[in-house]
């Protein structure tokens, strides 16, 4: 990739982009912004998020890389949605506080006042 990346681009950042990302330090990067400040020819500062294998953002980073070493992600990961979970409220609680008022211990305390 010799053209400047754009916000929203998903890139493979590895040793071809910069020695600091060689080997197991390679990452998938979602670009948020591209710095317009001049740098060395062929290099650019990118701000974005590191994505895990599931496509979830794990860290926001600012990286300095060679444009020629950047590659688009072949098949973008699809972010996984977490399964819906119930809140800490009891099953009988409908959010109106009725379940709490109907507990015998609470009623007894309220009656004792």
Mean pLDDT along residues 90-110: 51
Helix, coil or strand: residue 32: strand
Scanning the structure block, which residue is given the tokens 């590895």?
14
In a domain, residue 61? The reply is: yes
Q: Which domain holds residue 36?
A: 10-72
Q: Do 61 and 45 meet the contact criterion of CB atoms below 8 Å apart?
A: no
C-alpha closest to that of 30 among 52, 3, 1: 52
Average pLDDT value for the chain: 80
Number of domains making up the chain: 1
pLDDT of residue 4: 86
Cβ-based neighbours of 7, under 8 Å, separated by 6 or more: 31, 32, 33, 34
In a domain, residue 36? The reply is: yes
Task: Give pTM, 2 decimals.
Answer: 0.65
In a domain, residue 93? The reply is: no
pLDDT digits (tens, 9 = 90+) for 36-82: 999 999 999 999 999 999 999 999 999 999 999 999 998 766 666 65
């Amino acid at each position: 990739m010799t053209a400047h990346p754009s916000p929203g681009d998903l890139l493979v950042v590895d040793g071809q982009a910069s020695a600091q990302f060689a080997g197991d330090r390679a990452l998938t990067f979602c670009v948020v912004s591209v710095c317009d400040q001049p740098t060395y020819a062929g290099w650019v500062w990118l701000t974005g998020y590191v994505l895990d294998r599931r496509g979830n953002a794990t860290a926001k980073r600012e990286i300095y890389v060679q444009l020629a070493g950047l590659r688009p992600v072949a098949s973008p990961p699809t972010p996984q949605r977490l399964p819906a979970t119930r809140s800490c409220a009891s099953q009988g609680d409908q959010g109106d506080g009725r379940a709490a008022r109907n507990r015998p211990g609470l009623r007894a305390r309220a009656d004792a006042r």
